[in-house]
Structure 1
């Protein structure tokens, strides 16, 4: 009855006629459970060999592709007081539209005619520069006249020197003649005296010769005095020439000194004019900052200083805006271990907050509600949260465009797709904490097998 013998009696006995056999027979449910258990085990075994797409998941937020398209704060260029608002929060304004009007709060800018008065100061300084220019021109003419006069004086004195030289030469000639005549008169007197003493000539002739000698001696002295006088006149003429040169050189030097002083004053005035012009330009430019205008087409999001009469400091935020035209992007943060797996142009799938989605991260083809993007920028420096920032823009050839109602700041979850591996391998990798497979393009299957599937690569799987 235990059915343990090779000689079975099951074929000889009619079990249907005995109630005991019905009560001890196995239940059909047990056999069904065994069959289901075997089927589930077979399915699980088959399921473990299904393909699984490795991926990197990261949370981020929606931002803009260009920095100038992101939300920004408009600061006040000058310190002032709010007088009037021309917009309201949420309003669309065009580039150049006035947002708010400020009034001056600094005492040095209270004068309403400050620009005009500064311009008049500039005009006055320019007149002074013109006067200095005229004075410099007059001094140049004066210097030119003095040099011409000096040249004339030098020629005049040079002529006088030549006249003195001629006079000296004539006096010296007369002096030489007087010397000769005196010598002749002396000889004649000596002969007449000798003849008188010999009794040949009379006393009268001797006295005549004596008188002649005295006359020639007087002429000799007179000629000598004239030579000395001519020499003194020549020296005086030469001294006059040197004196004239020194005098006119001194006058010319003084005039040039006055000229350079005038030029210095002119340059100083020109510097003052330039400074006043800069001030006038600054005042005029400052007056334009009383009206804060929109830098681009944008929406007014929030007024930071809403009250009329409130004062703002230089560089203090006064209103925040959101540009009207922008290109959306997603800002993700990946761990340093996953950074080598991310490349420029790599496809990333997104789930946006507020949009329903049905996700199988390992089977992206079976997912619903995801949006496609591609990596356009990767930071080279780690962020403050210890991860690297990755910027992803909409995919150019995506079948499904990003939602039109998507706004900057919305949450997003990104899934970067990598290799296709078996499910059992992915479970084993996750349990051991290994990174995803990262093969190089030139890595052969033999090398992958030898390295135990841990040689890193940067694949970018595209999902259709």
Structure 2
């Protein structure tokens, strides 16, 4: 109560007495601010590392056309000649079939301006000669028919003559046989009367009469035999005549047939010459058309590779360059070999054209400014001389994006980003540090799946 007993010091007082110097040390306010900033930066970096990142493949190229017919083409000279007249100027729009320039001939064979007329006259003459030979063929065919009919008639005549000869031979043979019988009877009678005369039974006058009959019978037998032999000769002559007539007619037929074949051969040769002349005429007409060089399609004359009048040009020599009108433009970018397997048709692409200012965030294409959308249309199956592969990109009509500028021209430089899959930023940093290729599958989505 009187407070005369000394007080025991408290723990705080004891701490202050023993470590009082620590109270003079205080944390500066700047250090606290730095610590807070570091913590905020770390938190922000952690948030950024989990943000999505669009993987892409970058490449440079130029504007071209999707189809070969829309690409700039060299108008070549189809024939050897000299420039006679220019009908266009550089930068001029031309329609399909419009005359670009005219070529004059320099070869001796084609210099004659009436060459086509000469060839036409030659063709007409050859045609008339062929018609005359065809008339000759028809005459020979009629002659052959007449010879064959004449042979048939003549053979029938000889057949009739042979039949008559056979009948005459038979008749004369019978007459000869009858005369031989009469001779035999007359000989018997003569011998009998001769014996009777020797015996004195008949007179000499009667014997002479019998002898006269015998001589007459003998004469008739000789005459009948002669007629028979003559009939046989006539029969043989008729057969020989038939054969001779047949051989003569066949010889005439063969000769006429040979002349007919010769005429047909001449017609074939003439038709071959006529076809050759017609071919030459067609070639001349086509060549005459080649002297006037026309535009194959609508376009713009970009550059004349030859100038002046009278300059000699050779076939297949380029004369000027024609850019087709309103081509279907496409961007051609060149991808490294290691990136080609990652690109497939239909992939979305962001493009930056030379001359159009833009800001591109390759990882976040949605916040890019001044770039244009496209899609992969063609990936070449063969590499370029420098080892890269060409990829053709066309405007993506399905994307709600700004259309490509109408002012784009062939050869304009372009830079493209072929968009791949979305991955977290930490994965992209890890991939870049380790040198791994871009991923075809989203690892986060794959992990969730």
**What's the TM-score once normalised by structure 1's chain length?**
0.89
Give 1:25 shift. 6.0
Distance 2:167 2:21 in 1: 186
Per the alignment, residue 67 of structure 2 pairs with 66
Per the alignment, residue 7 of structure 2 pairs with none
Per the alignment, residue 180 of structure 2 pairs with 179
Distance 1:339 1:447 in 2: 28
Q: Secondary structure at the match of 1:413?
A: strand
Q: Secondary structure at the match of 1:122?
A: helix
Give 1:209 shift. 2.0
Per the alignment, residue 457 of structure 1 pairs with none
Give 1:26 shift. 5.6
Per the alignment, residue 218 of structure 2 pairs with 217
Task: List per-residue Cα deviations over 1:16-41 (Å, max 9, x = no partner).
Answer: xxxxx6xx866533433333233223
Distance 1:355 1:108 in 2: 57
Per the alignment, residue 276 of structure 1 pairs with 277
Distance 2:18 2:122 in 1: 131
Give 1:338 shift. 2.1
Task: List per-residue Cα deviations over 1:311-354 (Å, max 9, x = no partner).
Answer: 11011100101111211111122233322222222211111111
Task: List per-residue Cα deviations over 1:382-425 (Å, max 9, x = no partner).
Answer: 33222222211101133200011111111111111111111111
Would you say the 8 A contact 2:421–2:442 is kept in 1?
no
Distance 1:10 1:300 in 2: 100
Per the alignment, residue 255 of structure 2 pairs with 254
What are the equivalent positions in structure 2 for 1:386-425 lying under 5 Å apart?
A: 386-398=387-399, 399-425=401-427
Distance 1:8 1:424 in 2: 51
Seen in structure 2, the aligned counterparts of structure 1 residues 229 and 444 have a Cα distance that, compared at 3 Å, is farther
What are the equivalent positions in structure 2 for 1:2-41 lying under 5 Å apart?
A: 7-8=15-16, 27-41=28-42
Question: In the alignment, is residue 302 of structure 1 matched against residue 310 of structure 2?
Answer: no
Distance 1:164 1:407 in 2: 109
Give 1:162 shift. 2.0
Distance 2:14 2:330 in 1: 78
Give 1:231 shift. 0.5
With 210-219 and 111-120 compared, the bigger mean Cα shift is at 210-219
Would you say the 8 A contact 2:347–2:420 is kept in 1?
no
Give 1:206 shift. 2.4
**What's the TM-score once normalised by structure 2's chain length?**
0.92
Task: List per-residue Cα deviations over 1:45-103 (Å, max 9, x = no partner).
Answer: 32222111111111111111111011110001111101211111111111121111111
With 376-385 and 415-424 compared, the bigger mean Cα shift is at 376-385
What are the equivalent positions in structure 2 for 1:200-349 lying under 5 Å apart?
A: 200-349=201-350
State the aligned residue count.
436
Seen in structure 2, the aligned counterparts of structure 1 residues 385 and 215 have a Cα distance that, compared at 3 Å, is same
Q: Secondary structure at the match of 2:350?
A: strand
Seen in structure 2, the aligned counterparts of structure 1 residues 192 and 6 have a Cα distance that, compared at 3 Å, is farther
Would you say the 8 A contact 2:158–2:241 is kept in 1?
yes
Q: Secondary structure at the match of 2:166?
A: helix
Give 1:380 shift. 2.1
Give 1:213 shift. 1.7
Per the alignment, residue 456 of structure 1 pairs with none
Task: List per-residue Cα deviations over 1:353-401 (Å, max 9, x = no partner).
Answer: 1111111111111111110111122222233222222211101133200
Distance 2:153 2:421 in 1: 106
